[in-house]
Amino acid sequence: MTPWLQAVERAVKSIPRGETASYARVALMAGKPGAARAVVRALHSLEGIPWWRVVRSDGTLAPAVKAEQAKKLAAEGVTLPRAGPRKKRTRSP
């Protein structure tokens, strides 16, 4: 296993049950800020880690694994926003 994969594995395993971290946050935790896409690729190579705790920066789930990820997060008590944590902006009069 490469040092990068080991760093991602440690970072993901450190996310507490019932919590999530973004791909960007995991990249930062693994020592490579800005490598969020590399985290996505790394998660596909790693086994036995709680990959479902890693979400997009806006809090949404990746479409390819959305149903399975949502089920696993719900089992841990994580409530996800429907369309991410962004609030609708309103214009001032």
Structural domains of the chain, ranges and CATH numbers in brackets = 3-75 (1.10.10.10)
**Distance from C-alpha of 45 to C-alpha of 27, rounded to nearest angstrom:** 15
What tens digit of pLDDT does each residue of 44-85 get? 999 999 999 999 998 888 887 888 999 999 999 998 766 544
List beta partners, residue 33.
Answer: none
Whether the Cβ atoms of residue 58 and residue 85 lie closer than 8 Å to each other: yes
**Distance from C-alpha of 91 to C-alpha of 85, rounded to nearest angstrom:** 19
Model pTM?
0.81
Whether the Cβ atoms of residue 47 and residue 60 lie closer than 8 Å to each other: no
